[in-house]
Chains A and B, each alone.
Chain A
Amino acid sequence: MHRTICDFALDLVQNSIEAQASLVMFDFFETENDVTVFVADNGCGMSSEQLKKAQDPFFTDGIKHAERDVGLGLAFLTQAIEQSGGEFEIDSREGQGTSVKFQFDKTNIDTPPVGSAANTFLAALTYPGGHEMVINRKFNNGADIYSYSLTRSELSEAVGGFETSGSLRLLRTYLLSQEGITEEQAVSRKN
């Protein structure tokens, strides 16, 4: 299962991209006591029947990998939520899109570690595709307070695409600076 809350969030963002969304909204809000993530897309959506099945770890639609049973992302998330007393909501309409919201209680001992927001945004933004993505980040732990927004098309234009190591390095530098993390801290972090 995923190790950090960030891993769960990244998995949801990819689900949205793979649902052929042209717009993905990704909110990542953190306070002293909780972490709230909201991911919404305008992709293919699911009928209520499909939605029920999507949450079943033993179900796979067989489209992406015909020979294999995969599709554990949501199941992992709900399992982690259940064990740590968090909240989870999913809403989907066929042909219109899907939105998922979850909240973890940071004070619960069974809550996974938060993980690194900067490297999660790096992976989420550079996942291939022609979609737009808007990330809203808010952080307030009582001592440090900051918030910022990231728009995929703007960043891609600013760094010159997301494919080469040179532009990815620029993007990484930018994301670390938004989080107020120095290069040394990023290197020594064991996440």
Chain B
Amino acid sequence: MNLEELRKLRDEQKQSLSRRNTDNKDIQIIVGMGTCGIAAGAKDTLEAFIQELEEQELSTVRVTQTGCMGLCYVEPTVEVVMPDMPDVIYGKVDPEVARKIVRKHIMHKTMVNDHVFDRPAADIVEEGGNQ
């Protein structure tokens, strides 16, 4: 595939996307990708989110990366921000849990209780990091 084909693919998908639900554009998934996150496999978590969102046909969810959230002991950590749900930081999010977050938290507004952790470390909250 070259860049031209990539652009063409985008145009094709744009047309099919416009027919789908666009309610999910206020949903944001933030994956912690500091040294600690990378060491714990955050790269695979990020990829799993992209894969699962694709399978569930959610194409306007924002997926972004950030540095260390100060919860290195439960990496990979992921923050999910969306309407009608409290901001939640999930810990120990391997690809399996990432898929569960998409299906339960995002699609059915039910938290994945076993993986809920707290807010980021105090120094990050003060800086306004992900707030």
| Chain B interfacial residues counted at CB < 8 A | 41
Whether B78 sits at the interface, judged by CB under 8 Å, is no
Contact with B along A154-179 (1 / 0, CB 8 A): 11001110011111111011100110
CB neighbours of A116 from chain B (8 A): 43
CB neighbours of B39 from chain A (8 A): 1-3, 7, 76
Contact size class for A?
A: 35 or more
**Bound complex: CA of A18 vs CA of B34, how far in Å?**
11
**Bound complex: CA of A167 vs CA of B49, how far in Å?**
13
Say what secondary structure dominates the interface of chain B: helix
Say what secondary structure dominates the interface of chain A: helix
Task: Look across to chain B and name the residue whose beta carbon is closest to the beta carbon of A71.
Answer: B35
**Bound complex: CA of A65 vs CA of B125, how far in Å?**
11
Contact A123 B60 (CB under 8 A): no
Q: A127-B65, A154-B3, A166-B60 are in contact. Are A173 and B43 (CB under 8 A)?
A: no
Q: A163-B63, A164-B61 are in contact. Are A68 and B1 (CB under 8 A)?
A: no
Q: A119-B47, A127-B33, A172-B47 are in contact. Are A165 and B60 (CB under 8 A)?
A: yes
Q: How far is the CB of A46 from chain B (nearest CB, A)?
A: 17
Q: How far is the CB of B39 from chain A (nearest CB, A)?
A: 5
Residues 2-43 of A contacting B (Cβ, < 8 Å): 2-3, 6-7, 10-11, 14, 18
Residues of B participating in the A interface, judged by any CB pair closer than 8 Å: 1, 3, 6-7, 9-10, 13, 17, 25, 33-35, 38-39, 41-44, 46-47, 49-51, 53-54, 58-68, 70, 121-124
